[in-house]
Amino acid sequence: MAAAYRRCLGIALGAIWLLAGCAGAPPPPPLGPVAPPEAVSRNPQEVALEVALSDFYGAPYRLGGTTPAGVDCSGLIQALYHRAGINLPRTVAQQYETGRPVSRGQLRFGDVVFFNRYCQTRDREVYLAGIFGSGWGDQVCHDGFYLGGGRFVHASPRGVFVSRLDAEVWRKAYRGARRYLPGGD
């Protein structure tokens, strides 16, 4: 009798655990302003990027998407730059291989920051590279658009929203940045 009770309890707890996993992600934090906190003048491409950003805020996540109706991280970057007249490759890895490297201390509006936070598979194992040690993660698999003031906008499974580079998860997962806008080096 006790074994049957433990078995039923185990099944019930397993079902609760599975259903809790299907509850979905928490809603994204409220959207902040597009412009960085400091007042700066913008060139025409930067203005085009600002306008494009306003179209994408709050957009839902869609793997392979490149429009405000649904977008993934590299699709967001590609679409933003396309609207500013700059053609970028489609994938995060390809985007990381182009542009000029930028040190973290030299980031400015329009730079693209790269992470290994949402890497999903490696040799058929599921993992989150930003949580495990350095052995897990030199590859890049997530990117975002740097706004200034330590903030970046990106598309994740929660949609398009702003995060802070100094948040622990992003600080640990950070792999570098690239600049695609001309000048300002």
Tell me the longest C-alpha to C-alpha distance in the chain: 76
**Whether residue 154 lies in the annotated active site:** yes
Residues in contact with 97: Cβ distance below 8 Å, sequence separation at least 6, in sequence order: 89
Among residues 73, 82, 119, 141, the one annotated as catalytic is 73
In this structure, are residues 147 and 36 in contact, taking their beta carbons and an 8 Å threshold?
yes
Which pair of tokens denotes residue 8?
């039923």
Question: Annotated catalytic residue: which of 8, 22, 119, 142?
Answer: 142
Tell me if residue 73 is catalytic: yes
Q: Are 164 and 151 in contact (CB under 8 A)?
A: yes
Q: Which residue has the tokens 């930028």?
A: 102
Element of type H or E holding 19: helix 2-21
Enzyme catalytic residues:
73, 142, 154
